[in-house]
Structures are given as structure tokens and as C-alpha cells.
Amino acid sequence: DRRRDTPAAGSPIQPIIKDVGEVYSRLLDHRPVIQGEIRYFVKEFEEKRGLRELRVLENLKNTIFETNERVLPKCEQAMQDNLSETFKRLQAANAMIHRLQEKECEARKLQADKVMAREEKCIAHWEEFTKEQQNKRAEVDEEHRKAMERLKEQYSEMEKELAKYVSF
């Protein structure tokens, strides 16, 4: 039954509830204090800072406008002039490098042709040398064969003469 009963308007518990609500709002409810601090901050900010931000923004706008209208076109023109000159120099350098590469390629080709000619000449000399060596070998072999025949004849004659003397 007690749960269903609500305290009456004139009950002694009413002032205690009111005091607890007041203590709660003073100790735990910070909204009024925060709102007061916010109002104070905004008031101080507006009074002390004044139109300084507006002047800074205006100066920035003027600087940006001057940069867009005067400095940027000058920079673009200087860049275009320098880029075209740089491009011409690069083309000239590229042409010179191309000519150097062609000369180097020709020099390599000439060198390769010289090497090939030397190799062919060496091969021809080698073949001539081997033929000459074969001819000399054939000559030496022929002389050796003739010398062997002469020696055989000489020894056979010596044997015949020896055979004459052995019979004594």
C-alpha cells in the first residue's frame, strides 16, 4: 500500500525534496555556469579583437587579387620564355647526341670492318702457311725418302763389298 501512496502536498517530506533539488542544481548542474562563461567569452572576444580578423581577411583578399592579376601572369610569361628557350636547347642537345651516336656507330662499324679484314687476312695467311708447311713437309718427306733410298743403296753396295771381303 505504501508504494501506491504519493506524498501529500502538505507532507513534511516536501521541503526535503526541494532542498535536495536545490543542492543537486548547485553541485551537479553546470549548465547555467557554462552558459555564463560562454556569454563572457563571446563578449570579451568581440570587444578586444574588434575588426582585426576582418582587416586580416581583407589584406589576404588584396594580396590574392594582386597575385592573381599581376604576379601570376609575369611568372607565366617568364616560365613560357624560359621553357621555350630550354626546349630549344634540349632539341639542340638531342641533335648533337644523335650525331655523336651516329659517328660512334660508324666508328664501331669501321672498327668491326677492320677487325674482319684482319681476321680474313690472318685466315688467308694461316691457310697459306699451312699449305706452305704441307709443301715443305712433302719436300722433306721426299728428300727423306730419297735419302733413305740412297742410304739403302749405299748400304746394299757396302754389304756387297763386305760380302766380297768376308769370303777371304
Within the chain, residue ranges assigned H as helices are: 13-27, 31-49, 52-66, 72-166
Return the pLDDT at 91.
Answer: 95
For residue 67, give the H/E element and its range. Answer: none
For residue 1, what pLDDT band results from cuts at 50, 70 and 90?
very low
Please give the share of the chain, as a percent, with pLDDT higher than 90.
Answer: 43
d(CA 68, CA 91): 33
Question: What dihedral do alpha carbons 52, 55, 60, 65 form, nearest 10°?
Answer: 170
Which residues are CB-contacts of 113 (< 8 A; sequence separation ≥ 6)?
A: none
Distances (CA, A) of 36 to 29, 30, 63: 13, 10, 39
- Return all residues near 7 (Cβ < 8 A) that are at least 6 apart: 13, 14
pLDDT in tens, 80-102: 888 888 999 999 999 999 999 99
Written as one letter, the residue type at 115 is: V
